[in-house]
Structure 1
Amino acid sequence: ATGGTSVAITGSNFTGATAVKFGASNASSFTVTSATQITATAPSGSGTVDITVVTGGGTSATSANDKYTYIAAPTVSSLG
């Protein structure tokens, strides 16, 4: 939930990407490693969101394959 997770994104036509979004939030950072791969750092968030890539050609369509689920950090409730 606090973000910071590195995520490998595979697709096509990533050259010239200007943004990677996790839901409505921009990735903390991203690197286009090739026309078919981006490594992005998830921002903080909650729930399940779509990851989209923005280029000069537009924003990628959402699908069942682009979901990212935030998981809350564990908490300690007692010690025995």
Structure 2
Amino acid sequence: MAAILTSLTPSSGPATVFSSVVITGSGFSNVGPLSVRFGTTATTFTIDSDTQITAISPTGTGTVNVTVKVELNGISNSLPYTYV
């Protein structure tokens, strides 16, 4: 089963400065390697629990889709993140 995303906190952030974003959902632990992407850019992250990941937003512009990819289970739904 793919990871499911329910919210991003915050859902927007600075375009030129890295910032922490908490991703809430399910299916984040004990599922093999994960990757977190802001649009097409992979970023660093920490798995806090099965329902929470803390990711570092890369620099960017506009609005991008945030996704979590689980190697064995595919790609999650996406949530929008807006650079301001």
TM value normalised by structure 2:
0.74
C-alpha change, 1:13 and 1:45, in structure 2 (3 Å) is same
Q: RMSD value over aligned CA atoms?
A: 1.2
Hey, what does 1:54 align to over in structure 2?
Answer: 69
C-alpha change, 1:41 and 1:50, in structure 2 (3 Å) is same
Hey, what does 1:43 align to over in structure 2?
Answer: 58
Alignment counterpart, residue 13 of structure 1, candidates 24, 27, 42: 27
Structure ranking higher on relative contact order (CA contacts 8 Å, 6+ apart): 2
* 1:27-38 matched pairs, under 5 angstroms: 27=43, 29-38=44-53
Structure with a larger share of its residues in strand: 2
Gaps in structure 1 of 5+ consecutive residues: 72-80
C-alpha change, 1:3 and 1:61, in structure 2 (3 Å) is same
Gaps in structure 2 of 5+ consecutive residues: 1-14
Matched to 1:67, the amino acid is P
TM value normalised by structure 1:
0.77
